[in-house]
Structure 1
Amino acid sequence: MLVAGNERGGGASHLLALSAACHDDGERAFYFLVVGRGYLQERLSQTGVDCLILDGGMRQVAGNLIRFLRDEKTRRPLQRIFLHAHGPRMNVLACFAAKRSGVAWTSTLHSDPATDFLPSRLKTLLFARLNVSCLRRATAIFAVNQELISIVPGKPVFKVRNGALLQANSVDEETSRQRLRSQLGISSESFVIGMAVRLVPVKDIPTALRALALLDHPDVHLAIAGDGPMRAELEQLRQDLNLVQRVHFLGFLSPIGDFLAGLDIHVMSSVSEGTGLSILEAGYYGVPNVGTDIAGIRQLITDNETGFLFPAGDAQALADAWQRLFVDSVLRKRLAEAFKSRVLPLYAPRAMLDSYRTGYEQLEV
C-alpha cells in the first residue's frame, strides 16, 4: 500500500481501518509504504502493521521505492507483487515506479478525480488529467462506490466498501454533549448541528451556512470540526450571513468521537464523495445524519429511513430537513437506530479487508 504520510480525512480513515483489520487478522501480505510524515504516518506507526517510511524529495522517494520493489521481486520470485496506490499523487508515483521496477500496480479510488483539485481550474486541467492518465495504465482499480467504477473503463474494477474504525467514546453521551456546548460557549440546552470535514470546495460548506441562516431558531448552532484553505472565506461568509454567534470553527480534532457524540444532527453537504466516513462515525454514536443525494452518500443513507437526503447545493431543502429533525426527537431516534442496525454492519474493517483479498485473488488467476 503506497500512501501519503500527511493524509487526513476519509482516505486516512480508510487506511487506518484497513491496517487495524490486517493487524487483528494477522494479515502479513499487505505492506504499507508511507511517503513522508504527518498524521497518517504517525497513526500507522502505532498500529503494529509492517510499515516503511520513505523520506526525502520526490526523486529520492521514487528511487528508494523502485529499489524496494526490485528487492521484493528478487526475494519472492514466485509471487506476483502489486504496488497499490491511494490518492492522486501516489497514483502518479506508483505508475512511474511500477514501470521501472517491472511490477503490477493498482489503485483505490476514494473520490472523483475531477473534483480532487477544486477550485483551481489549472490544477484540475493538469493534475486531474495526469491522474486519470496514470490510472489508465494500472492493472486494476478498486473503488469505494458504484459511481467511481465507470471512471476508468476497460479495467478490472472491484468494489471495496470503506471500513470505519469505530471506537466507543470514553464518556457517556450526556457528558459529550455538555463538553461540546461548554467548548462552544453556548447554553447546555442549545441544539448543535455538526460537520467533521476538510474546508475545501468539494465539501460545499457554504450551503450548510446558508441553510442555518434560513432556520428561524437562534439557539441552533453549526459546529465545524476541520481545517483547510477555505477557512478565511467561510469566516467571511459567516459574518455576511450574521451567523458569527451561531457558526463555530473548531479546527482539526483527533480523536473525533467526543465531538460527534455531542451533536444533535450530523450533516455532510459535499457535491462529491467516495464514501462519507464521518456519516458512519456519527451514526455509530447514535447521531442522525443528513447528507447530499449523491452516490457516495446515497449508499449509506436511505431517505427517511436511515437519515435524510437533500439535493446538492439546495440550502432550503437542507434547512427543511433540519427543521423536521429539530422539532421531532422521536424521528431523530428512529433514524439513528435504523442506521446503526442496517448500515453499520456492512462497513466493518474486516469486510473491507475481505474485499481487497477477493480482488487480489481474482487478479492472481
Structure 2
Amino acid sequence: MSETGTVLHIIPTLDQAGAEKQLTLLAAELKHRGWLVHVCALTRGGPYRKELEAAGVPVTVIGKATKLDPMAYLRLRRFIRQIRPDIVQTWLFAANAYGRWAAWRAGVPHIVGSERCADHWKTWWHFRIDRFLARRSDAVVVNGRYVREFYVSHGIPAEKIVVIPNAAVEFPVASDSRRAMLLEFGLPDDARVVALVGRLWPQKRVEDAIWAADLLKRIRDDVHLLIIGDGPLRERLTRYRDRIEIEDRVHLVGHRKDLSRWLPHFDVLWNTSAYEGQSNAVLEAMACGVPVVASDIPGNRELILPDETGFLIPAGKSGRAPLAAKTKKLLEDEDLRRRMGEAARRRAREEFSLTRMADAYCRLYAELLQRPRSQTRSKQADV
C-alpha cells in the first residue's frame, strides 16, 4: 500500500493483555510499512511500552487519574492537536470514550473505534455512549463476527463495522529444552503440562479448569495445570484450589513475560471462558502447534475447527468433565495430538497472520484517507 499518513492509537494502558498486544503488533508493523505512528496510553504505560519504543513508535502517557478526569481529557485533546494525526484509532471503552470525543473536538479528519470483545458487563449508559460516539466515527473495527453481531444488536450501525481478525504470533522453539521448562516451574520429569493463560477474573471461569484438573488427577498422576496470569480473583482461586486439595497439580504462576519460551513445550492449552472476542492465548497456542481444548463459545468457534485443530466443550460447569476427557484423549494419543497441533499451526499461519491483519488495516486507513473530511466534524470542532 503506497499511500500512508499519520495514525494515533489511543488505549487505556499498555499492560500485558490481549488488546494491548494486538495494538503493539499492529503499530510496529505499520511503522515498518512507512506509516507515521504514535501511541497514547490514557492511564499508564506498561510492558508493551518498551516494545513499541524499540520499534521506533513514540509513546505518550496522559496520566488519567480517575474514571471522570476532565484534566486528562484536556491534556489528551491538546496532545492530539499537537501531532495533527490523519487518523485516530481508539481501543477499549475508556479510550473509545475519551479518545473519540477528544479527536472529534480536535478536528481529526478520520476517527476509528475498536471493540475487542462482546462486553456483557456494559450497562445501558455504556451502550448509549458507544452509539453516540459511533455517529462521530468513520468506522468501528471488531476482531470477529460474534463481536460484530453483539454491537449491531446494541445499536452500532452495521455499515460502520469492519471485521479484522487478530494476529497470531508464532513463537520459535528456543534453545530452552522441555527439561528447562519443567525445572523453571518445579515440575517432575514425567509431567504432562496443561496451561491456561489469561486474566484471573470471572469471565475466564478458571474454577472450571481447576475442577477439571482434579478430575484428571483421579485418572492420571502426571498432569499438571499451569495457570498463567494475574488478576483480582487470584487469592480466591488459590483458596479454592487448596480447599479441594489439588495444590500439588495446579500451579498459579502469575504473569510470565517469558511465556514465548515455554508455550511451544506445553502439551495442551485450555480456555474455559464464558465469552471472548478472539483469545490471544488460543491463537498463539495454535501458531505454536499446541492443541487447544476450549469452551464452545462464538469467539472460540471462529478460531478452532472442532476435532480438526482442537476440541470444543460446553461452557460452564457442564464442560468440566468433557474438558478432562478430551485432554485425557490428547495425552494418551501422541499421533492425534501431533496432527491436531500441525493443523492448528497451518490454520494460524494461513488465516491469522500479522501480515494479513496489517494488510486489512492498511486498506481501511487508505480508504479513509481518500474520503473528504467529515463536514459535521469540521463545523463542530474546537478551533
* Closer, same or farther: CA 127–325 of 1 in aligned 2, 3 Å: farther
Structure 1 residue 230 and structure 2 residue 233: aligned? yes
Q: Tell which deviates more after alignment, 38-47 or 350-359.
A: 38-47
One-letter identity of the residue aligned with 2:264: A
Separation (CA, whole Å) in 1 of partners of 2:294 and 2:361: 27
Structure 1 residue 195 and structure 2 residue 196: aligned? yes
Q: Deviations over 1:271-320 (max 9, x none)?
A: 11111111221223221111121222111110111111111111112112
Structure 1 residue 278 and structure 2 residue 285: aligned? no
Separation (CA, whole Å) in 1 of partners of 2:351 and 2:32: 18
Separation (CA, whole Å) in 2 of partners of 1:300 and 1:7: 24
Separation (CA, whole Å) in 2 of partners of 1:156 and 1:12: 23
One-letter identity of the residue aligned with 2:211: R
Contact kept, 8 Å, 2:285 with 2:291, in 1: the verdict is yes
Structure 1 residue 87 displacement after superposition:
0.8
Aligned counterpart in structure 2 of residue 361 of structure 1, from 348, 366, 378: 366
Contact kept, 8 Å, 2:97 with 2:130, in 1: the verdict is no
* Closer, same or farther: CA 141–156 of 1 in aligned 2, 3 Å: same
Structure 1 residue 321 displacement after superposition:
1.0
Q: Deviations over 1:155-201 (max 9, x none)?
A: 411111111343424315xx1x2223223322111111001211111
Contact kept, 8 Å, 1:92 with 1:134, in 2: the verdict is no
Contact kept, 8 Å, 1:13 with 1:165, in 2: the verdict is no
The DSSP-based 3-state class of the residue aligned with 1:249 is strand
2:111 is aligned to 105
Contact kept, 8 Å, 1:22 with 1:49, in 2: the verdict is no
Structure 1 residue 52 and structure 2 residue 60: aligned? yes
One-letter identity of the residue aligned with 2:48: L
Moved over 6 A (4+): none
Structure 1 residue 247 and structure 2 residue 250: aligned? yes
Aligned counterpart in structure 2 of residue 32 of structure 1, from 20, 34, 39: 39
Structure 1 residue 128 displacement after superposition:
4.1
The DSSP-based 3-state class of the residue aligned with 1:141 is strand
Structure 1 residue 10 displacement after superposition:
1.0
The DSSP-based 3-state class of the residue aligned with 1:12 is helix
Structure 1 residue 300 and structure 2 residue 303: aligned? yes
Separation (CA, whole Å) in 2 of partners of 1:135 and 1:194: 39
* Closer, same or farther: CA 336–41 of 1 in aligned 2, 3 Å: same
Aligned counterpart in structure 2 of residue 63 of structure 1, from 43, 66, 74: 74
Instruction: Return 5+ residue gaps in structure 1 as ranges.
Output: 116-123
* Closer, same or farther: CA 361–22 of 1 in aligned 2, 3 Å: closer
Separation (CA, whole Å) in 1 of partners of 2:185 and 2:286: 22
1:120 is aligned to none
1:340 is aligned to 345
* Closer, same or farther: CA 181–131 of 1 in aligned 2, 3 Å: farther
Structure 1 residue 251 displacement after superposition:
0.6
Count of residues in Structure 1 that have an aligned counterpart in Structure 2: 347
Separation (CA, whole Å) in 2 of partners of 1:105 and 1:261: 38
* Closer, same or farther: CA 186–160 of 1 in aligned 2, 3 Å: same
Separation (CA, whole Å) in 2 of partners of 1:127 and 1:228: 26
Separation (CA, whole Å) in 2 of partners of 1:205 and 1:59: 37
2:15 is aligned to 7
- TM-score between the two structures when normalised by the length of structure 2: 0.84
* Closer, same or farther: CA 269–206 of 1 in aligned 2, 3 Å: same
Instruction: Return 5+ residue gaps in structure 2 as ranges.
Output: 1-8, 372-383
The DSSP-based 3-state class of the residue aligned with 1:345 is helix
Separation (CA, whole Å) in 2 of partners of 1:101 and 1:260: 44
Q: Tell which deviates more after alignment, 35-44 or 245-254.
A: 35-44
- TM-score between the two structures when normalised by the length of structure 1: 0.88
2:260 is aligned to 257
The DSSP-based 3-state class of the residue aligned with 1:31 is strand
The percent identity for this pair of structures is: 27
Contact kept, 8 Å, 2:287 with 2:346, in 1: the verdict is no
Structure 1 residue 56 displacement after superposition:
5.5
Separation (CA, whole Å) in 2 of partners of 1:6 and 1:278: 17
The DSSP-based 3-state class of the residue aligned with 1:245 is coil
* Closer, same or farther: CA 56–84 of 1 in aligned 2, 3 Å: same
Aligned counterpart in structure 1 of residue 26 of structure 2, from 9, 18, 22: 18
One-letter identity of the residue aligned with 1:107: G
* Closer, same or farther: CA 169–128 of 1 in aligned 2, 3 Å: farther
The DSSP-based 3-state class of the residue aligned with 1:114 is coil
* Closer, same or farther: CA 12–315 of 1 in aligned 2, 3 Å: same
Structure 1 residue 8 displacement after superposition:
2.2
Q: Deviations over 1:203-229 (max 9, x none)?
A: 111111111122221221100111000
Q: Deviations over 1:123-179 (max 9, x none)?
A: x4377446534554433210100011121432411111111343424315xx1x222
The DSSP-based 3-state class of the residue aligned with 1:343 is helix
Structure 1 residue 72 displacement after superposition:
4.7
2:161 is aligned to 157
Q: Tell which deviates more after alignment, 209-218 or 84-93.
A: 209-218
**RMSD across aligned C-alpha pairs, in angstroms?**
2.2
The DSSP-based 3-state class of the residue aligned with 1:11 is helix
Aligned counterpart in structure 2 of residue 317 of structure 1, from 309, 314, 322: 322
Structure 1 residue 16 displacement after superposition:
1.8
